């Protein structure tokens, strides 16, 4: 006999809307992030057990990057969900091979380590398909891992629910922190903390430990308990805002500038369109072309579609021959002027702006590069001097576009005052 259990006694109030979205299958991808004690993993385990029991064709897979971590994390968490739901008599658990089987139908929950993603395979299922996929500690995976594994499991069925649970890494450069900022219609991103969980669920000692850490190390507290991306201290741009920039807003921009960073081999060509509000020191970036292996003719054709008035474009001057070819193809283009410490000067100029507003829909690559741009560390963990020359194609294009604004700006670089940009 199955015991009736009130879900309000098992699901924290902060997850009520998420629960309804899962039950109604409004999204495919559920990214649940947050701090310690937020009960996000508890919610996922409950939803998987309930979902399998509700849908006779549903099976599930739970993954960790390292196979050895499965038993003491997702496996035990799912056993907990079975117990608190009062349905232990309906499930059979096995550790060799590790699996959970719903006795009435033979539906399964399987477990996989993903240290070699290309070798992750589904199991022979008695019925149905893998409807639920759970990545626990998603930040341990690489972005490519997820794509490969989803291609394995997200097939053969009408509807899928994929859970990604994690405590956000400190570094804003981490791919997970950047990923959750990407707009996607079939994705729900939810953030939770222990503060929204009934106190007696966690016990008084949990709150004592949290408060002690808050007093001693606020940065660690905010990262561990509140799930904040506190940063490593090496973030270059701390003046970023991501929001859509509407057509009406763009129509009144009167200081539109365009910059171009050429692509070579594996490096992408990046063309950037922006408006600079000099009075308020605010930069609006609302257009980009970001492609690898574009021919010069194709690049000019794409740029002309945006730049219908053939306004001036400032480009990387390292390749005069390429600039000449673009010019011969009809583009109004000039090479950026070089100056001493031009990279440092340009990046510092952008750092010192009051705000850099980037449209994440129109400019996803610009958003990704600006957000993830951090100082490198040496072998001892100390920050290296200078700015890294990688994943900065959009940043370079923006620097070139704004060279007239920077040329007379006086910015300190190290202990000296430098003037000039390229």
Among 391, 359, 41, which Cα is nearest to 182's? Answer: 359
pLDDT, averaged across the chain: 91
In this structure, the answer to whether residues 342 and 413 fall within a common structural domain is: yes
Tell me the per-residue pLDDT of 316-369, one tens digit each, with 9 for 90 and over: 988 889 999 999 999 999 999 876 678 888 999 999 999 999 999 999 999 999
Residues carrying an active site annotation: 137
What is the average per-residue pLDDT within 121-131? 86
pLDDT confidence of residue 210: 97
235 found inside a domain: no
Q: What is the pTM of this model?
A: 0.75
Domain shared by 345 and 401, yes or no: yes
CA 296 to chain centre: 31
pLDDT band at 286 (very low <50, low <70, confident <90, very high): very high
297 and 180 fall within a common domain: no
Residue 392 and residue 255 share a domain: yes
- Say yes or no: 267 and 205 in one domain: no
pLDDT for 120: 84
Q: Are residue 53 and residue 187 in the same domain, yes or no?
A: yes
Task: Identify the pLDDT of residue 169.
Answer: 92
- Given a cut of 80, whether residue 128 has pLDDT beyond it is yes
**46-56: per-residue pLDDT in tens?**
999 999 999 99
- Name the residue range of residue 274's domain: 240-418
pLDDT tier for residue 416 given thresholds of 50, 70 and 90: very low
Question: What is the percent of the chain with per-residue pLDDT over 70, rounded to a whole number?
Answer: 95
Q: Which among 200, 215, 230 is the end of a domain? A: 215
Per-residue confidence at 408, pLDDT binned at 50, 70, 90?
low
Give the total number of structural domains in the chain: 2
Q: Is the pLDDT of residue 398 over 60?
A: yes
């Amino acid at each position: 006999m199955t015991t009736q259990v009130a879900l309000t006694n098992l699901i924290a109030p902060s997850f009520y809307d998420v629960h309804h979205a899962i039950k109604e299958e409004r999204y495919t991808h559920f990214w649940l992030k947050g701090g310690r004690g937020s009960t996000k993993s508890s919610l996922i385990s409950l939803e998987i057990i309930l979902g399998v029991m509700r849908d006779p064709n549903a099976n599930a897979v739970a993954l960790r990057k390292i196979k050895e971590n499965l038993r003491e994390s997702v496996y035990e968490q799912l056993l907990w969900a079975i117990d608190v739901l009062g349905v232990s008599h309906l499930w059979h658990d096995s550790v060799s091979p590790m699996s959970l089987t719903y006795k009435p139908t033979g539906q399964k929950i399987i477990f996989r380590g993903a240290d070699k993603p290309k070798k992750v395979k589904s199991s022979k299922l008695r019925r149905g398909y893998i409807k639920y996929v759970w990545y626990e500690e998603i930040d341990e995976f690489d972005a490519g891992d997820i794509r490969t594994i989803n291609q394995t499991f997200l097939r053969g069925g009408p509807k899928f629910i994929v859970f990604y649970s994690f405590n956000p890494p400190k570094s804003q450069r981490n791919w997970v922190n950047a990923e959750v900022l990407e707009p996607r219609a079939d994705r729900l991103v939810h953030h939770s903390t222990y503060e929204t969980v009934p106190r007696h669920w966690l016990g008084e000692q949990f709150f004592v430990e949290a408060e002690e850490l808050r007093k001693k190390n606020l940065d660690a507290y905010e990262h561990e308990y509140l799930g904040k991306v506190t940063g490593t201290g090496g973030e270059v741009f701390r003046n970023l805002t991501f929001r859509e920039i509407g057509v009406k807003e763009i129509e009144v921009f009167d200081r539109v500038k365009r910059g171009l960073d050429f692509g070579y081999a594996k490096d992408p060509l990046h063309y950037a369109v922006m408006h600079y509000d000099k009075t308020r020191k605010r930069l609006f970036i609302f257009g980009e072309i970001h492609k690898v292996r574009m021919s010069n003719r194709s690049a000019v054709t794409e740029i002309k579609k945006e730049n219908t008035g053939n306004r001036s474009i400032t480009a990387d001057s390292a390749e005069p021959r390429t600039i000449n070819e673009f010019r011969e193809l009809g583009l109004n283009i000039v090479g950026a002027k070089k100056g001493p410490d031009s990279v440092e000067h340009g990046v510092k100029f952008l750092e010192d702006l009051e705000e850099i507003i980037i449209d994440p829909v129109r400019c996803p690559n610009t958003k990704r590069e600006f957000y993830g741009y951090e100082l490198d560390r040496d072998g001892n963990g100390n920050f290296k001097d200078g700015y890294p020359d990688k994943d900065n194609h959009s940043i370079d294009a923006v620097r070139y576009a704004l060279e007239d604004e920077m040329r007379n700006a006086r910015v300190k670089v190290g202990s000296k005052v430098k003037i000039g940009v390229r």
